[in-house]
């Protein structure tokens, strides 16, 4: 039986969400997402609603990374962070409690973000190896993703896949085999790296 996935995305990326629906219809994967705005300013209530109504029976959260998915997106007319709900969805996904076990996190980078995130390679001055330059930072993603992609504390000059809780994939690779990437994120839930998960705020 396939994993049930929660889809965290911005309305500007609805087309990609629709494509994920079609992809999952052809596999054993099941998807769900926030289908309404939670009309409250109470952070505790919002987190509880997301966990109980949307995440309770999911095991992987897919974070669609587009041009409006960053930490520095700004504020709306009410003075609330524009990505407030994505922050809460990722925070709730990472939370591990008696009624809500944590989800694996799979970041899917949309094509318009490739050049902003994937910056090529460089030769490390410390170890001499060639490393990928991947700009997972406040200007490209929500902090709950970046802090659990580049986990700390960390020693060494680069991060191996086993040292990252979040999984990252380009859209073009994801659509060729979504189940393998969802499975990779699912497996992180019980891996040693789960002990390094950082959540900015549980409220």
Tell me the average pLDDT across 3-11.
87
Task: Please say if the pLDDT value at position 42 is more than 70.
Answer: no
| 121 contacts 201 by C-beta, under 8 angstroms | no
- 27 found inside a domain: yes
Residue (of 67, 97, 60, 71) closest to 182 by Cα position: 60
Q: pLDDT tens digits, residue range 145-198?
A: 999 999 999 888 899 999 999 999 999 999 999 999 999 999 999 999 999 999
What pTM did the predictor assign? 0.89
Q: Which structural domain, as residue segments, surrounds residue 14?
A: 4-196
Confidence of residue 203 (pLDDT cuts 50, 70, 90): very low
Q: pLDDT tens digits, residue range 78-91?
A: 787 888 888 888 98
Domain count, the chain: 1
Q: pLDDT tens digits, residue range 97-152?
A: 776 789 999 999 999 999 999 999 999 888 888 999 999 999 999 999 999 999 99
CATH code, domain carrying 57: 3.40.50
- 109 found inside a domain: yes
Locate 131 and state its tokens.
């490393």
- 201 found inside a domain: no
- 45 found inside a domain: yes
- 203 found inside a domain: no
Confidence of residue 32 (pLDDT cuts 50, 70, 90): low
- 183 found inside a domain: yes
Q: Are strands 4-8 and 30-33 parallel, antiparallel or unpaired?
A: parallel
Q: DSSP readout, 69-103?
A: -STT--B-TTSSBTTHHHHHHHHHHH--BTTBPPP
């Amino acid at each position: 039986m396939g994993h049930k996935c929660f889809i965290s995305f911005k309305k500007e990326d609805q087309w990609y969400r629709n494509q994920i629906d079609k992809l999952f219809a052809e596999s054993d994967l099941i998807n769900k997402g926030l289908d309404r705005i939670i009309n409250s300013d109470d952070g505790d209530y919002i987190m509880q609603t997301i966990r109980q109504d949307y995440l309770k029976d999911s095991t992987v959260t897919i974070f669609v990374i587009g041009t409006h998915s960053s930490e520095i997106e700004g504020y709306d007319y009410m003075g609330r962070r524009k990505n407030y709900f994505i922050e809460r969805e990722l925070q709730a996904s990472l939370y591990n409690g008696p009624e809500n076990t944590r989800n694996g996190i799979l970041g899917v980078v949309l094509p318009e973000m490739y050049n902003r995130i994937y910056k090529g390679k460089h030769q490390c001055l410390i170890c001499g190896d060639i490393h990928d330059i991947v700009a997972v930072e406040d200007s490209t993603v929500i902090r709950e993703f970046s802090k659990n992609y580049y986990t700390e504390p960390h020693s060494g000059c680069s991060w191996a896949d086993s040292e990252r809780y979040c999984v990252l994939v380009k859209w073009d690779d994801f659509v060729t085999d979504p189940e393998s990437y969802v499975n990779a994120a699912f497996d992180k839930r019980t891996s040693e790296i789960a002990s390094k998960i950082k959540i900015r705020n549980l409220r």
